[in-house]
Amino acid sequence: MEHNGFIRTGAAQDFPDFIAKCLNIRQKMFTNNNVAAEDVEFFGGGRGWPPIGAAWMHPPPNAARGEPHGTPQQEGIENAMQIHQQTLAREVSCAGLGVHSGKSVQLTVKPAPVNHGIQFIRSDLPGRPRIPAHFNQVVDTSLATVIGAEGAIVSTIEHLMAAFAGLGIDNALVEIDAYEVPIMDGSAAPFTRMLRSGGTAAQPGPKCYFIIKEPISIEASGKSVTIYPAAAYRITCTIDFQHPLIQRQTYALDVTPDGFEKEISAARTFGFLHEVEYMKRYGLARGGSLDNAVVISEEGVINESGLRYPDEFVRHKVLDCLGDFSLLGMSILGHIVTHRSGHAFNHAFLKAFFRQKQSWETLTVNTSEDLSPLRENSTLRRSSL
Ligand SMILES: [Zn+2]
């Protein structure tokens, strides 16, 4: 095992085998407080970190793009790095409308054991098909993020997934009696309140993180997604719309439960009036209304109550990103920077991420002492570990 209790891997295998094996080893570590020689080999043996410099750690400032450039904060590290996995303390539920079907949906979230991850069960179908919330289960990203398995799908999972990721909930079972997660008010605030009401419970299993060793990037048609090495989890999104109300907006979030709840969770999905009319003409967005989306016309926001934040649009992009990237199945220590991205492009990035295995490792935190070096040195240098 590596010094200071950290285990790292450079020997990544194909997803999901890699994740399954990683979780299996974590389970062994917890139950036996030990790992076998072949497991150490699997995690990369005695491999160390590459040389780390300031440029390696942070994305280059890009003033032309107007992107903020910052250093992960000390408290960000402590908040971002949970030691133990978490689940809900008790079962919670909610009901609402599917945005496309217009039908009512009942959703229940139950506590789940260590290394379970987030999984959905379609309780309305024979055999109660189970669908893990992993990016390799994604079957469609055209209007929302849709996952599928065993001939069943669950659609529009991204806002609920953002609430799990934002609050640091690793393990939960979501039972749903329809194919769409209810849209609620178009944001993640109702899910966040619901999950908060259930309380969180720390579990006797260590957290596992993706550590980014070098930037990974995709770019096409004026869109880009890049993840940079960082000692905390940060998301920076930029949107650019040819509409006087939106234009160019950038928002950066250090992902912590309080920051997510206060700054991001209430940002609603948005659409242009002509798009909404088009979708309704083709039988989509049947449940869509001004109660669950910000709708923009040529003149401005149609919703009488206006916006919840002046830059609600870009904050919602951060929310969507958090949900989409949670489909990696493990937490991230890295800085994600997106430019004009959406669900489909985020998903393309997740596939590229797993192709570029030399650019990341995983890290398992076993005890609170393991975090001390990071608290003392926010640059995550090899020498400090
Ligand atoms: Zn959304």
343 is a catalytic site residue: yes
Interval between CA 193 and ligand 1 midpoint (Å): 17
For 3-84+206-376, CATH number? 3.30.1700.10
CA 77 to chain centre: 17
Q: How confident is the model at residue 244 (pLDDT cuts 50, 70, 90)?
A: confident
Closest CA to 345 of 165, 223, 222, 162: 223
Q: Of 134, 316, 339, 343, which one is the catalytic site residue?
A: 343
Closest CA to 267 of 281, 248, 253, 279: 253
Interval between CA 345 and ligand 1 midpoint (Å): 14
**3-class state of residue 43 by DSSP:** coil
Q: Which residue has the tokens 């009319």?
A: 277
pLDDT computed for residue 353 by the predictor:
96
pLDDT computed for residue 113 by the predictor:
96
354-378 confidence digits (pLDDT tens): 999 999 998 887 766 665 555 554 4
- Which of 64-78, 93-107, 346-360 bottoms out in mean pLDDT, i.e. has the lowest? 64-78
Q: Which residue has the higher pLDDT, 43 or 110?
A: 110
Share of the chain above pLDDT 90, in %: 55
- Structural domain boundaries in the chain: 3-84+206-376, 86-204
pLDDT computed for residue 302 by the predictor:
86
Interval between CA 321 and ligand 1 midpoint (Å): 9
What span, in angstroms and rounded, lies between the C-alpha atoms of 1 and 5? Answer: 7
Closest CA to 81 of 9, 5, 181, 144: 5
Contact 6, 371 (CB under 8 A): no
Antiparallel, parallel or unpaired: β 84-88 and 118-122: unpaired
Residues with CB in 5 Å of ion ligand 1: 269, 320
To the question of domain 86-204 being in CATH 3.30.230.20, the answer is yes
Closest CA to 221 of 339, 316, 64: 339
Interval between CA 320 and ligand 1 midpoint (Å): 5
Q: How confident is the model at residue 100 (pLDDT cuts 50, 70, 90)?
A: confident
